[in-house]
Amino acid sequence: MPDSAKPFVITLEEHYSDPEVASRAAPTGGHDSGGGRAGSRTALVPRLNDLNELRLKEMDEAGIDVQVISHVPSPIQQINAEDAVGLAAAANNRLNDAIREHPSRFAGFAMLPTPDPHAAADELERAVRELGFKGAMIHGRSQGIYHDDRRFWPIFERAQALDVPIYLHPGPPHPEMVQAFYGDYLDDFPSLNSAAWGYTIDTANQAVRLIVSGLFDEYPRIKIILGHMGEGIPFLVDRIDEAISRPGNRRDGGASFRDAFCDHFYVTTSGFFSTPALLCAILELGIDRVLFSVDWPFVENGPGMKWMETVPLSNEDREKMFNGNAKRLLKL
């Protein structure tokens, strides 16, 4: 794009790693490079650890103005609750220090000590009210338990009260699912356990569980963000809705599956630069609920920006994806 036409660009799924958190222990699995497009995890460590010049340089080269930064999957959701609370708060403070150094370029999603849901809700409130964070990101399961479990509902209740979103991000796929679904292929195709398939199945499953749990009936103003173009759900939402509505499925009133998804979820393009998938998401959710993101540094900034030059959208809708929707959702 010529400089005169350059849009203001905000990206929402851009990661970092806090060295103190990372040193605690390595989670089982974790994030990978989205199919190898940006190199191995080891090679990415300097970029993940950087909250200054290297990150800003790559943003500037691609034309990205603001990153909303979030931690990669970490031990926080797997360790004992007491340690998780202090470690998460300290990491959020350090991320806030970096944001304060570059307040026009960085914003943050909080890390939450989910093993103690009430403490996690309190940390979310502290991060939003005192540090100015824009919501929180949670990954996969906590100590083996999906977050639709009622013990975690205080986190969502607090998010609703604060009017901030929860970004639902992949974590290590459930080990029993891995072995049953594709474990015999992992030696030849290790990415099946991450961005190629496992992350999508596990995260879409968690989103479906949140909807059928009744969470959104009890907290009707919750906002959830899904990356990777909605983890396949925009393509499947109508079929899921129709099947769940058949006789024999428990119905206690409340919104339909499709309405719950379209009313409560937002999706980002993180690591998924496909025009057919984008158009599907827009047709199901509407342009106001689709936001541009990259998934840096696991995916490079440049391909995402170049792809956006080709998408068949009006200038107004492109502007919404690049910044308008993020400004409204995150109060930027």
CA proximity to 290, closest of 321, 324, 264: 321
Calpha distance 303→11 (Å, rounded): 14
Q: Residue 172 and residue 186: Cα distance in Å, rounded?
A: 14
- Vertex 288 angle, CA 282 and 293, to 5°: 80
Beta strand 106-108 with 224-226: parallel, antiparallel or unpaired? unpaired
Other Cβ atoms less than 10 A from the Cβ of 183: the count is: 14
What does the alpha-carbon distance between residue 49 and residue 23 come to, in Å, rounded to a whole number? 12
Q: Is 295 a catalytic residue?
A: yes
Catalytic residue among 116, 148, 202, 295: 295
Phi-psi region of 229 (alpha: psi -120 to 50; beta: other; left: phi over 0): left
SS3 84: helix
Q: What are phi and psi of 169, to 5 degrees?
A: -115, 150
Tokens of 78: 């797997």
Dihedral sign for Cα atoms in the order 261, 262, 264, 266: positive
Phi-psi group of 68: left, alpha or beta (phi > 0 → left; psi -120 to 50 → alpha; rest → beta): beta
Strands 136-139 and 166-169, by their bridges, are parallel
d(CA 124, CA 111): 8
**Closest Cα to residue 278, out of 293, 264, 263?**
293
Report d(CA 205, CA 210) in Å as an integer: 9
Cis, peptide link before residue 117, omega less than 30° from 0: no
8 Å CB contact between 226 and 271: no
Active-site positions?
A: 295
